[in-house]
């Protein structure tokens, strides 16, 4: 499902994404609270063996996606809001974008 969502935005296709090394849907850890569990993002970091400095959360609900991920120690958060007028706005290390088209060139530079 995650790849399907990212493919709609042009960031991936159903076989994968060259920018993303791992993805975890809310049901990944068999916790009925899913991504609302207080330790969800810590579990992601441990399960994936990810580096906090290079890991980003991509979501669409800042209070439930990027902010908890940043509180868990991730350096980057990205939230997409297709209704946002500006292409991107950065606030408190969270990048608010209106299209994945904005994000792709940034990922290619990294």
Residue 74 CA to residue 95 CA, distance in Å, equals 13
Task: Give the mean pLDDT of the chain.
Answer: 86
Kindly state the tokens that stand for 63. Answer: 């209070």
According to DSSP H, which parts of the chain are helical? 2-8, 40-48, 66-71, 100-109
pLDDT on residue 85: 94
- Would you state the pLDDT for residue 95? 92
pTM over 0.85: no
Query: Of 10 and 68, which is predicted with more confidence?
Result: 68
Q: What does the pLDDT average to over 15-41?
A: 85
Beta-ladder partners of 57: 77
């Amino acid at each position: 499902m995650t790849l399907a969502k990212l493919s709609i935005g042009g960031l991936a296709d159903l076989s994968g994404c060259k920018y993303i090394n791992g993805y975890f849907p809310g049901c990944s850890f068999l916790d009925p609270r899913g991504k609302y569990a207080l330790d969800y993002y810590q579990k992601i970091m441990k399960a994936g063996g990810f580096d906090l400095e290079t890991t980003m959360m991509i979501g669409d609900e800042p209070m439930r996606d990027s902010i908890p991920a940043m509180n868990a120690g991730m350096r980057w958060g990205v939230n997409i809001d297709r209704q946002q007028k500006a292409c991107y706005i950065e606030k408190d290390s969270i990048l608010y974008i209106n299209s994945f088209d904005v994000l792709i060139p940034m990922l290619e530079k990294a």
